[in-house]
Amino acid sequence: MGSGRWEKQKLTTKKKVKDIARELIALYAKRKAEPGFAFTPDSYLQTELEASFVYEDTPDQAKSTEDVKKDMESPSPMDRLVCGDVGFGKTEIAIRAAHKAVCDSKQVAVLVPTTILAHQHYRTFRKRLEGFPVNVDYINRFKSKKEQKITLDKLAEAKVDILIGTHRLVGKDVKFKDLGLLIIDEEQKFGVAVKDKLKQLRVNVDTLTLTATPIPRTLHFSLMGARDLSIINTPPPNRQPVETRLHTFDKDLIKDAIQYEVGRGGQVFFVHHRVRDIYELADMIEELANVSVAVAHGQMEGADLEKVMVQFMEGDFDVLVATSIIESGLDIPNANTIIINNAHMFGLSDLHQMRGRVGRSNAKAYCYLMSPALSSLTDDAKMRLRTLEEYADLGSGFQVAMKDLDIRGAGNLLGGEQSGFISEIGFEMYHKILDETIRELKDEEFKGVLNEHRIIESRDAVIDTDYNLVIPDYYIKNVPERLSLYTAISKLETEVALKEFQENLKDRFGVLPDVFTVLLETVRLKWKAMKLGLEKILIRGDKMKLYFPSDPNAFVYQSDEFGKVLNYVMVNPNKFNVKQTNSQLVITSLGVDDIYEALGLLSEMERSLIA
């Protein structure tokens, strides 16, 4: 095919993806064969823990919990990835799994990428498991050597059930008495050395990995057999929307907002876009609202930064003036107001992330977006701010929109460093390539291992006809709407979806014109072509040509089904004519007057498969 740079880039990407995926599938297969610990079914305590969750489980959350528990109860070691956006309740699933492990007297390691997160998870776990017979502890560099030793000694004696920490957890001196579950948060953020250690660990220990990377459901399907995956796509139902106000910079408003929040015992995030004048701003706020203020930004020493964050978490300050560093995973339930200064300087996903820092408890949460007068902003900036104001809810619509814009942390799906080439080829294309690669691997290299039945179906078929291929103007005039419908048509995959699509169109635009119906029939034609293992169908006038793959090694040629089709074609010489050019087999049929005849002929061929 092409000789361009693209082809090369695609091949390199594919090769890299393939290497990572191969390793992953191999590991997966190995684990399935390895004996592990089978946890016992839920105890009464487990039921009570799950019932005491303050929010209602979303269906996805309930499903994920079930998935995890089933994995734990099975004898082979678990390796499940739970994907869900910020605030969708991944931590709750981790807590439930941890508790289940502890109920069977096993220890749990919770590995997180930063010291702050370690601290935060420790608080969350402890609070959530309050009143349950579980000992939670943490280890990070805020603890003195002596304190660390005490914790580690307790761990070795199994006096600590759940230990939370950073990469320190995989250190040599950390010895669990009986480790039963490993929980890893945002694995892609760990270095290679840690990952290698994790790889050894997880061969026979149940592992649960959490990530905020959005993964489309379609990809979920192809990942089956490479990684066990649970997706949480829906936000918690009774979580309240964050009241979002767009406003020009206004000292009175800032003062009111801060004093209101502090007055009800809460804390405030104040986000500023640059470090240069952040201290001046902090002084201004301190004076303005008469509150205690701390500053945090990315140019601070790591240890200092962590200290400020932890102090804020402990409630030592009323207001945290910070740069956008607060976007990453920080969870302070007591902070329920966020003020974002110069909001127009941030991207939509950053703003969404930052706003997600508040509204995580029962108190009503507020987000103030400060920007110059709207009239002075670019259209793009205006749209971003409006979108955010519009979607106060973590509604599903917004999630869909965000997914398109978002590649944050993308690539940890396979646990490798992939974000580099994702930004080169785009997020969706990466998913497409990943999908293709895994299917190839499963077909070619892991055929026996995964025990999947091979089918002759081709991955795609080209349908080239000389029929009209258009939605007429008089039916749908709006051009973007036509485009989005064409796109939807090309993505249809099942008869049910096609029928529904047709019904919906009839509802919105009235009875479909014949031309349009023919267009939809070509979709059915394509499905049939794929089922028969065809590569291409060409229709010119009343002549239809069916092309089998040009690659002589294609699986279809080795299959029984192919023999059946060929046999059927041979015994019906009045309808078909078979010709071989080079290595490619082409069947020609004449007198195909319209699409319905073409469909009829293919249906007959399809029936011969079953015979």
Partner 1 sequence: MKTADLLAIWAQHPKLTNLQTDQDLTLNNNLGSVTSMLIAGYFNFLKGTHLVIANSKDEALYLFTDLVNILGPNKVHFLPSSYIKGINHPQEDANEVKQRTETISKLKNGALSGIMVSYHDAVYEKIADLKTVKKYVFEVTKGEQVDIEFITDLLEECKFERDDFVYEPGYFAVRGGIVDIFSYAHEYPVRIVLDGDTVESIRYFNPETQLSVSERNEIKLTPNIKDTELFKTYEPIFEYFNTDTLLWISDEDIFKQQIAKYWKEVRKSDESDSSTELIISSQQLSARLNNYRRITWGFSSDKKEQLDLSTSAQPTFQKNFDLILDELKQWHLKGYDLFVFAENPKQIDRLYQIIEDTGSKIHFEPVYSGLTAGFVDHSLKKVFYTDHQIFGRYFRYKDKRRFSKNAAITLKELQGLHPGDFVVHIDHGIGKFAGMHKMEMNGKVHEVVRLVYLNNDLLIVPINSLHKISKFTGKEGSAAEASQIGIR
Show contacts with partner 1 in window 486-545 (CB under 8 A). Answer: 486-487, 489-491, 504, 507-510, 519, 522-523, 526
**In the range 456-485, which residues lie near partner 1 by CB under 8 A?**
462-464, 466-471, 474-484
- Using CB under 8 A as the binding rule, whether residue 292 contacts partner 1 is answered as no
**In the range 30-69, which residues lie near partner 1 by CB under 8 A?**
44, 48, 51-52, 54-56
Burial of 73-110, coded b for 16+ CB within 10 Å and e otherwise, reads: eeebbbbbbbbbbbbbbbbbbbbbbbbbbbbeebbbbb
Which phi and psi angles does 419 have, rounded to 5°?
-65, -25
Closest to partner 1 by CB, 1 or 373: 1
The CA distance from 100 to 107, in Å, is: 10
Q: Which SS3 state, helix, strand or coil, does residue 320 take?
A: strand
Half-sphere exposure of 351 (CA within 13 A, CB side): 32
- Using CB under 8 A as the binding rule, whether residue 15 contacts partner 1 is answered as no
- Using CB under 8 A as the binding rule, whether residue 580 contacts partner 1 is answered as no
Q: Of 535, 508, 345, 437, nearest to 10 (Cα)? A: 437
Q: With CB under 8 A as the contact rule, which of the stretches 298-306, 312-320, 328-336, 423-431 interacts with partner 1?
A: 423-431
Binding mask 430-459 for partner 1 (x = CB under 8 A): --xx--------------------------
- Using CB under 8 A as the binding rule, whether residue 252 contacts partner 1 is answered as no
Residue 58 CB, shortest distance to partner 1, in Å, is: 13
Per DSSP, 273 falls in state S
Closest to partner 1 by CB, 1 or 610: 1
Binding mask 351-380 for partner 1 (x = CB under 8 A): -----------x------------------
- Using CB under 8 A as the binding rule, whether residue 3 contacts partner 1 is answered as yes
- Using CB under 8 A as the binding rule, whether residue 250 contacts partner 1 is answered as no
Contacts of 562 (CB under 8 A, 6+ apart): 456, 533, 548, 556
Residue 476 CB, shortest distance to partner 1, in Å, is: 8
Residue 88 CB, shortest distance to partner 1, in Å, is: 16
The CA distance from 405 to 150, in Å, is: 47
Residue 431 CB, shortest distance to partner 1, in Å, is: 9
- Using CB under 8 A as the binding rule, whether residue 424 contacts partner 1 is answered as yes
Residue 149 CB, shortest distance to partner 1, in Å, is: 35
Closest to partner 1 by CB, 376 or 423: 423
Q: How far is CA 426 from CA 18, 250, 429, in A?
A: 17, 40, 6
Relative to beta strand 584-589, strand 576-581 is antiparallel
Q: Which SS3 state, helix, strand or coil, does residue 514 take?
A: helix
Decide: 415 and 399 in contact? Cβ < 8 Å.
Answer: no
Which of 287, 428, 452, 594 touches partner 1 (CB under 8 A)? 428
- Using CB under 8 A as the binding rule, whether residue 239 contacts partner 1 is answered as yes
- Using CB under 8 A as the binding rule, whether residue 273 contacts partner 1 is answered as no
Decide: 307 and 93 in contact? Cβ < 8 Å.
Answer: no
Q: Which SS3 state, helix, strand or coil, does residue 580 take?
A: strand
Size of the residue set binding partner 1 (CB under 8 A) = 80
